[in-house]
Amino acid sequence: MAWRDSRGKRRILLLSALSIFFGVAALVAIGSLRDNLEWILEEQTRSLLGADLALEARQPFNDEMERFFRRLGGESSREIRFQSMAAFEGTDAVRLVQVRSLRGGFPFYGAFETDPADRRHLRPGQAIVEESLLMQLGLRVGGEIRLGRSSFEIAGALRRVAGESEVTGFFAPRVYIRWDEVEATELVQKGSIVRHRIYFRFDEGLTGAAAERFAEAEADLFVRNSIRSETVEQRRRNLERLLGNLFGFLGLIGLVALMLGGVGVSGAVQVYVREKLPTVALLRCLGGTAGLVFRVYLLQVAVVAAVGVSLGALAGVGVQHILPVFLAEFLPFDFEIRTSYRAVLGGLVFGWLVAMGSALLPLLEVRRISPLAALRADFDAQKRTRPDALTVAVVIALAGLLIIFSLLQTAVPWHGAAFAGVLLGTLGLLVLLGMALRRILRWGVGQRGSFTWRLALGNLYRPQNRTLFLIVTLGMGAFLINTLYLASGQLLGQVRVTETGDAANLVLLDVQPDQVVELSEALAEAGFPPRDILPIVTMRLDAINGRSLTDLRNDPEANMRRWVFTWEFRASYRAELLDNEVISGGEWIPLHEGGEPYPISVAENILRDMNAALGDRLVWDVQGVPIETYVASVRDVEWQAGRQNFGVIFAPGVLEAAPTIFAVTTRVSERAEAAAIQQLLIGTFPNVSMIDLTLVFETLDDLLQRAAFVVQFMAGFTIATGLLVLAGAILTSRYQRIRESALLRTLGARSRVVRQVMGIEYALLGLLGGLIGTLLALLVSWALTRFFFEMAYSPAWTGLLISLVGLVALTLVTGFLVSRRVATQSPLIVLREEG
Amino acid sequence: MAVSDQSDCILEVSSLTKTYATAHGPLTVLEEANFALARGSTAAIVGPSGSGKTTLLGLCAGLDTPSTGSVRLAGEALEALSEDARAAVRMASVGFVFQNFQLVPTLTALENVMIPMELRGQRRARAIAADRLAEVGLGERLDHYPIQLSGGEQQRVALARAFANEPEILFADEPTGNLDTATSELITRLIFDLNRSRGTTLVLVTHDPELAALTERVFRINRGRLAEDARAVMAAGSRD
Q: What tens digit of pLDDT does each residue of A206-245 get? A: 888 899 999 999 888 888 888 989 998 888 888 787 777 7
- Residues A287 and A396 placed together within one structural domain of the fold: yes
The distance of A774 to chain B (nearest Cα, Å) reads 29
Reduced to 3 states (helix: H, G, I; strand: E, B; else coil), residue A499 is coil
Check CB contact under 8 Å for B57 and A831. Answer: yes
- Residues A444 and A480 placed together within one structural domain of the fold: yes
Q: Which one of A461, A747, A833 has the shortest CB-CB distance to B100?
A: A833
Check CB contact under 8 Å for B102 and A830. Answer: yes
Q: What is the pLDDT of residue A834?
A: 46
Residue A639 predicted with pLDDT over 60: yes
Q: Which positions in chain A touch B91 (Cβ < 8 Å)? A: 747-749
Q: Which one of A447, A824, A826 has the shortest CB-CB distance to B63?
A: A826
Q: Which one of B53, B92, B102 has the shortest CB-CB distance to A743?
A: B102
Contacts of B9 (CB under 8 A, 6+ apart): B3, B36, B37, B38, B39, B72
Q: Which positions in chain A touch B83 (Cβ < 8 Å)? A: 745, 751, 824
- In-domain check, residue A14: yes
- Residues A272 and A333 placed together within one structural domain of the fold: yes
Q: What is the pLDDT of residue B2?
A: 46
Check CB contact under 8 Å for B87 and A748. Answer: yes
Under an 8 Å CB criterion, which residues of B touch A?
A: 49, 53-54, 57-58, 61, 63-64, 83-84, 87-88, 90-92, 94, 96, 98-100, 102, 104-107, 111, 114-116, 118-120, 126, 145, 147, 161, 173-174, 177
Q: How confident is the model at residue A500 (pLDDT cuts 50, 70, 90)?
A: low
Beta strands in B93-200 (DSSP E): 94-97, 169-173
Check CB contact under 8 Å for B84 and A748. Answer: no
A43 vs A145: which has the higher pLDDT: A145
The whole-angstrom separation of Cα A57 and Cα A69 is: 14
Q: Which one of B100, B111, B147 has the shortest CB-CB distance to A834?
A: B100
Question: Strand pairing partners for A85?
Answer: A96
Q: Hey, is the C-beta of A669 within 8 angstroms of any chain B C-beta? A: no
Q: How confident is the model at residue A833 (pLDDT cuts 50, 70, 90)?
A: low
Q: Hey, is the C-beta of A379 within 8 angstroms of any chain B C-beta? A: no
Q: Which of A376, A411, A446 is the last residue of a domain?
A: A411
CB A89 within 8 A of CB A146: yes
Q: Where are the alpha helices (DSSP H) in A733-825?
A: 734-746, 751-783, 797-818
- Residues A710 and A582 placed together within one structural domain of the fold: no
- In-domain check, residue A706: yes
Q: What is the pLDDT of residue A373?
A: 63
Reduced to 3 states (helix: H, G, I; strand: E, B; else coil), residue A81 is strand
Q: How confident is the model at residue A395 (pLDDT cuts 50, 70, 90)?
A: confident
Range of the domain at A610: 532-666
- Residues A547 and A662 placed together within one structural domain of the fold: yes
Q: Which positions in chain B touch A751 (Cβ < 8 Å)? A: 83-84, 87
Q: What is the pLDDT of residue A10?
A: 65
CB B77 within 8 A of CB B71: yes
Q: How confident is the model at residue A829 (pLDDT cuts 50, 70, 90)?
A: low
Minimum mean pLDDT among A62-66, A271-275, A487-491, B43-47: which range? A487-491
Query: What radius of gyration do chain B's Cα atoms show?
Result: 18
The distance of A298 to chain B (nearest Cα, Å) reads 30
Residues A653-667: pLDDT tens digits?
888 888 888 989 888
- Residues A585 and A616 placed together within one structural domain of the fold: yes
- In-domain check, residue A565: yes
Q: What integer is the mean pLDDT of A621-640? A: 87
Q: Which of A343, A378, A411 is the last residue of a domain?
A: A411
In Å, what is the CA distance from A465 to each residue of A369, A454, A471, A733, B189?
Answer: 20, 15, 11, 8, 37
Per-residue pLDDT tens digits of chain B, which is 240 residues long: 444 455 688 999 999 999 988 878 888 889 999 999 999 999 999 988 888 888 888 889 888 889 999 999 988 998 888 878 888 888 888 888 888 788 877 778 998 898 888 887 788 888 999 999 998 888 898 888 888 888 889 988 998 998 888 889 999 888 888 778 888 888 888 889 888 888 899 999 888 888 899 999 999 998 889 888 765 544 444 444
- Please state the domain count of chain A: 3
A276 vs A285: which has the higher pLDDT: A276
Q: What is the pLDDT of residue A129?
A: 93
Q: Which one of B64, B120, B147 has the shortest CB-CB distance to A828?
A: B64
Q: How confident is the model at residue A835 (pLDDT cuts 50, 70, 90)?
A: very low
Residue A630 predicted with pLDDT over 50: yes
Instruction: Name the amino acid, one letter, at A443.
Output: W
Interface test mutation site (partner A, options B60, B64, B104, B153, max chain A beta carbons within 10 A): B104
Chains A, B: CB contacts within 8 A come to 92
- Residues A333 and A454 placed together within one structural domain of the fold: no
- Residues A599 and A645 placed together within one structural domain of the fold: yes
Q: How confident is the model at residue A379 (pLDDT cuts 50, 70, 90)?
A: very low
Check CB contact under 8 Å for B106 and A826. Answer: no
Q: Which one of B94, B99, B118 has the shortest CB-CB distance to A834?
A: B99
Q: Where are the alpha helices (DSSP H) in A79-230?
A: 131-137, 168-171, 182-185, 208-219, 221-224
Residue A257's Cβ-count burial label (10 Å; 0-12, 13-18, 19+) is buried
- In-domain check, residue A517: no
- In-domain check, residue A835: yes
- Residues A806 and A747 placed together within one structural domain of the fold: yes
Q: Which one of A378, A747, A835 has the shortest CB-CB distance to B49?
A: A835
Q: Give percent above pLDDT 70 in chain A.
A: 88
- Residues A605 and A651 placed together within one structural domain of the fold: yes
CB A153 within 8 A of CB A125: yes
Q: What is the pLDDT of residue B169?
A: 92
Q: What integer is the mean pLDDT of A85-113? A: 87
CB A829 within 8 A of CB A742: yes
- Residues A391 and A276 placed together within one structural domain of the fold: yes
Q: Which positions in chain A touch B126 (Cβ < 8 Å)? A: 447
Q: Which positions in chain A touch B172 (Cβ < 8 Å)? A: none
Check CB contact under 8 Å for A747 and B91. Answer: yes
Q: What is the pLDDT of residue A371?
A: 65
Q: List strands edge to edge, sheet with B217-222.
A: B76-77, B68-73, B9-22, B25-38, B225-228, B217-222, B42-46, B201-205, B169-173, B94-97
Q: Which one of A378, A749, A828 has the shortest CB-CB distance to B87?
A: A749
Nearest to A270 by CA among A732, A687, A696, A634: A732
Q: Which one of B54, B92, B174 has the shortest CB-CB distance to A832?
A: B54
Interface test mutation site (partner A, options B78, B106, B113, B149, max chain A beta carbons within 10 A): B106
Q: What is the pLDDT of residue B1?
A: 42
Q: Hey, is the C-beta of A447 within 8 angstroms of any chain B C-beta? A: yes
Q: Which one of A454, A459, A463 has the shortest CB-CB distance to B147?
A: A463
The whole-angstrom separation of Cα A737 and Cα B106 is: 12
Q: Which of A381, A411, A441 is the last residue of a domain?
A: A411
Nearest to A171 by CA among A643, A702, A676: A702
Domains of chain B: 6-239 (3.40.50.300)
Q: What is the pLDDT of residue A325?
A: 72
Question: In this structure, what are the phi and psi dihedrals at residue A99, rounded to the nearest 5 degrees?
Answer: -85, 135
Residues A764-808: pLDDT tens digits?
888 888 888 899 889 888 887 777 766 777 788 888 898 889 888
Nearest to A26 by CA among A350, A461, A292: A350
- Residues A280 and A368 placed together within one structural domain of the fold: yes
- In-domain check, residue A41: yes
The whole-angstrom separation of Cα A57 and Cα A78 is: 12
- In-domain check, residue A226: no
Residues A361-371: pLDDT tens digits?
888 887 777 66
Q: What is the pLDDT of residue A186?
A: 86
The answer to whether the bond into A107 is cis (omega within 30° of 0) is: yes
A468 vs A353: which has the higher pLDDT: A353
Q: Hey, is the C-beta of A798 within 8 angstroms of any chain B C-beta? A: no
The distance of B234 to chain A (nearest Cα, Å) reads 30
Interface test mutation site (partner B, options A746, A753, A756, A826, max chain B beta carbons within 10 A): A746
Interface test mutation site (partner A, options B45, B63, B113, B124, max chain A beta carbons within 10 A): B63
Name the closest residue on chain A to residue B60, using Cα atoms.
Answer: A828
- In-domain check, residue A204: no
The whole-angstrom separation of Cα B90 and Cα B78 is: 10
State the angle between helix axes of A10-19 and A232-275 in degrees (0 to 180), rounded to the nearest 10: 160
State the angle between helix axes of A341-363 and A290-319 in degrees (0 to 180), rounded to the nearest 10: 150
Q: Hey, is the C-beta of A735 within 8 angstroms of any chain B C-beta? A: no
Q: What integer is the mean pLDDT of A547-563? A: 86
Q: How confident is the model at residue A624 (pLDDT cuts 50, 70, 90)?
A: confident
